[in-house]
Chain A
């Protein structure tokens, strides 16, 4: 094996990573095995399968899985593969079923993945064991749910979900707490886009504040301000690289986990002032009824702008959405963006959230398309000879260790990406 742990270690330095991480098929195959095949991977949200029999199909890395709600009311993550000959069993993106039935020989499975019945069973010999669990679709070794967010691991061993999420978990809390009923709903459909680049480009970018004034230059209107970030707003803070606004972006905090790979950026200056309109005030009153004025003020001033959960899910507090990264090939990635609705919030408000994400994150949107163009150019440009490295050195001399042993720095640094490659190196160089 060319990529033994020693060879892997040579690809990642504290301030840079080797370009083969984005270009090399063997590296990608190993990532699918060692990262997506072992770590806690975000699969979906409970609100996507509210009723018994509801299911969605997705992938963990290249591995097809079904997230289902079984008759017992619990969610299950099962292999989307018939226990008989291996065919995909659930062929639609979503649906509701009492049983899953394979198209090929008619075997049926319960919505928790167990074998239900084999067609024409008498044809099997008397020693054939229909109770063999391997004949079912099979459940993933570990599944964990935190406030509706469903994670699964293809490995039976490893840290608990709670340990894995660590301090980043509070980003999920911040988002859910903003719902008057304390739960989010991904009930607004999904934007799906594709780019011809490696999956890590999207993960790095999701917590990259350095790129904003440059990549998104075209979102700054003639007035020097960016278009409205909330429904009803005409324009928000300037993101130009001139003057004080850029410095405010610079001053925001960033956090990177010591080993899990998660990271977040602190509160964004353009979220400082709360709206004052009848709809927002009605929403605010609902929160105050539940939490009181002081706690409501806290809830409405989230500390975290965006968070990347290694390896495949990100949250944004302002353009509020859950984003899922699906690696397809070494140079091809799908991204799914789910607008976040707040359970218990006024309908009109949830609708405005959904509408807003059309503007910021559809494949025809005004923000995401800038990033997609940059990803494509990165993937293309990295093939050029001249340098073997991709650099994440910004702010490296000023990283501070916090009381948890994690790291903090300013938002426009690259501590977020350094955290990601610390996790990459740990997982990729692990034995086994």
Chain B
């Protein structure tokens, strides 16, 4: 296992330190409510997916908590900026922590790699603090000296729970 990670670090596409910085920045944008900048991290064909079932095979034909392409993100964030969005008065505050970052696969031909991490997000609004956690899969595509997100999949450990309203992505 250690050998595998070490090998991955050596490959430019799967450089762990670069990926780490990218992921830390990504969740920071969410915590700072810089939603439009977060959206810009996604590739044009990119998607953000939060399944509602453990081991859900596909977002097609089964309900998901989030399944946003970039167009949907535009609508979502335009709404989050609306002056009269009642569910965000006051807004949720969030804090993400990510760790256990592992470069899982590297595909030099596609210029893509898959990264697995564990995520904890607390959100707070009106005397109600919640704790979410889960496993995150990023498919990242090389883009200049950085990456674009092709897919961010978040498998919450309580994905099939009954949720109070959620505003900010995990």
Contacts and interface: CB of A to CB of B under 8 A. Distances in A.
Interface string A327-358: 00000001000010000000100110011011
Contact of A219 (B59, B67, B79): B79
Nearest to B83: A218
Interface stretch (B7-15, B30-38, B158-166): B158-166
Nearest to B84: A217
B87 A372 contact: yes
Interface string A364-379: 1010111011100100
B87 A369 contact: yes
Contacts of A368: 165
B55 interface: no
A364 B86 contact: no
A306 B160 CA distance: 27
A218 B162 contact: no
A369 B75 contact: no
B65 interface: yes
Interface of B: 50, 52-53, 59-67, 72, 75-76, 78-79, 82, 84-87, 160-167
A192 B61 contact: no
A179 B37 CA distance: 42
Given A218-B82, A373-B165, 4 more contacts: A189-B62, A358-B66, A359-B72, A359-B75
A196 B72 CA distance: 28
A8 interface: no
A350 B61 contact: yes
A364 B66 contact: yes
Contacts of B62: 188-189, 354
Interface string A404-423: 00000000000000000000
Nearest to A216: B86
Contacts of B79: 218-219, 366
Q: 5 closest pairs, A vs B, by CB?
A: A363-B163, A189-B63, A218-B85, A218-B82, A364-B166
A294 interface: no
B67 A355 contact: yes
Contacts of A372: 87, 164-165
B63 A369 contact: no
Given A222-B78, A358-B64, A193 B162 contact: yes
A228 B50 CA distance: 22
Contact of B52 (A190, A194, A221, A351): A190
Nearest to A361: B63
Nearest to A326: B162
Contacts of A366: 75-76, 79
Contacts of A369: 87, 165-167
A189 B52 contact: yes
A227 B74 CA distance: 11
A93 B160 contact: yes
A303 interface: no
Given A358-B66, A362-B63, A218 B84 contact: yes
